[in-house]
Amino acid sequence: MITTREDIRNIAIIAHVDHGKTTLVDQLLKQSGVFRANQEVAERVMDSNDIERERGITILSKNTAVHYGDVKINIIDTPGHADFGGEVERVLKMVNGVVLVVDAYEGAMPQTKFVLRKALELDLEVLCLINKCDRDEARPEEVVDEILELLLDLDANEHQLDCPFLFASARGGWARYNVNDTNEDMKPLFETIIKHIPAPTGDEDADPQVLISTIDYNEYVGRIGVGKVDNGIIKVNQEVALVNHHDPNKMKKVKIGKLYEYEGLNRVEVSEARIGSIVAISGIPDIHIGDTLTSIDNPQAIPFQKISEPTISMNFMVNDSPLAGREGKFITSRHLRERLFRELNTDVSLRVEETESPDCFKVSGRGELHLSVLIENMRREGFEFAVSKAEVIYHYDERNQKQEPMELAFVDVPDEFSGAVIQKLTSRKGELQGMSPTHGGYTRLQFLIPSRGLIGYRGEFMTDTKGNGILNTEFEGYAPYKGDMFYRKTGSIIAFESGESITYGLFNAQERGTLFIGPGEKVYAGMVIGKNGKSEDVEINVCKTKKLTNTRSSSADEALRLVTPKVMSLEESLEFIDTDELLEVTPENLRIRKKILDPTLRKRSMIKSKQ
């Protein structure tokens, strides 16, 4: 018999990057009494790993639960960045409705469209929350119109078009039915969630069914599957079948080890869970996203959409530079292999493949940010390795024609910079598809561009727009190959010999371009120490000292003025490296180097490639 759990609501909070999802969850936790009155609480408490805190972005979706009156509200905080879209697609299967958060100044942005489309496809109830209404430049009424237009563009039905709108300031801790109301709490949001988002339904007497939508990993208990109980009752120590909709051959008999439900920020052990409950299950080592836990006698898998395929790849390899092994704790191919395959436990959008060389692994992901977060995590854990330039993954159609991934790029730039941006993106095989004025003297440009055209572009974009531009992308699909493309118009300044950089040598080198190092740094032959102003590479001896004469003293060196070197971040380094270069990553340093360190062998290789 179909029953409804009126004491539960399951919601996901979805939005574009930086529109305030995680701050909103903070307020819901605080105002529902999850924290003690005297408890110190960090800002953006749901962004639990260091990189999320530093960059101010959510990378992994997180589960939490709050109580409002007699109703338990399970909340999933999702990432807003396109590179982590795989996370959003999965978790929407666990909920009955979404809270769409939109910035009252920026309005509906590309990622708003992406996450909203996913919610409408699953026929989820939508509640729109216009956030940051306390900003001076907020324009909430116009943003409401933008969202209604977006719903029409996405073919929303009449019921979906009739969704409720609330106005809020997550930072200020209030949500209101009307912009001019004066309440200072989140009560209207809690009440609208309970009234508008449907309660979960299912057949409590039927065989148990739990679709696993997220995998967590814990060193002590191993893999933890997170999903919603769709039917029946699931209990600790119960024997169930593990099946998968996309893999008919998968059929395993397993036992539920431990069962948890969410309370605030904690997982609480329970002995059983009924329909509508979001549970975490441990004790099943071979559990994967998309698996269904169900009855052994009547194993029925729940349909599940396939995870989007990766679009770019990079080679991760053992560091073999002259400075290898001095700064990292984990440096061997065994360490590297174990760590990369362990990442697959929690990141379903990632692929790791072994290559012909035992020291090199091909790692594929959804975008540069996706892979750079993995690199940064490994670096902080003490790994030392090298990575190649990101390259797109090509497909071939039935006529064996090369197909490449395409992106829709939405660019918001101040009017005076639009010409420079159009010129750059056109030179990278981009096609301008739309151009319209937006608020505040900005122009919105829409480009269809190959994914490889955006590799290494973001740094240039920030320079061209003086840091005022916003670039968002959305994967569009595969299209015929658009032809060859040159990534970089500048060459590299390469160290000629190994040693320690000297002021005199650097002074001569800085006339050729921008340096990445200062005096007293260890260098080796073939290491890239700067960017040449011209297109060709140039080799310079930065370890050269001045010959002393009777008339010149060594202290004359101090009169030489060096320009402050440009310290490259991980993202800037990944964007800068060319196809014949590698980035050496250690816990202490990032060094760019040529793949072939020996200058004679490098020249031979270059001549060979041009033949």
Which residues does the annotation place in the binding site for GTP? 18-23
3-class DSSP assignment, residue 428? coil
Closest CA to 367 of 289, 415, 311: 311
DSSP-derived letter for residue 323 is: T
Residue position matching structure tokens 């699931």: 234
Rounded-to-integer distance, Cα 426 and Cα 433, Å: 11
Distances (CA, A) of 434 to 306, 430, 477, 480: 31, 12, 19, 21
Residues 403, 404, 405: CA angle, nearest 5 degrees: 135
- Enumerate residues 6+ apart whose C-beta is below 8 A from 163: 125, 126, 127, 128, 151, 196
Type and span of the H or E element at 79: none
Task: Scan for tokens 């992308």, then name that residue.
Answer: 473
d(CA 19, CA 101): 7
Please give the C-alpha separations between residue 414 and each of 52, 108, 142, 453, in angstroms, as whole numbers: 28, 18, 20, 22
User: What gap in Å lies between CA 279 and CA 559, rounded to an integer?
Assistant: 68
Would you put residue 563 in left (φ > 0), alpha (ψ -120 to 50) or beta? Answer: beta
| Cβ contacts of 607 within 8 Å, gap of 6 or more | none
H or E segment at 128? strand 125-131
Show binding-site residues: 18-23
Query: What tokens appear for 206 in the block?
Result: 């039927």
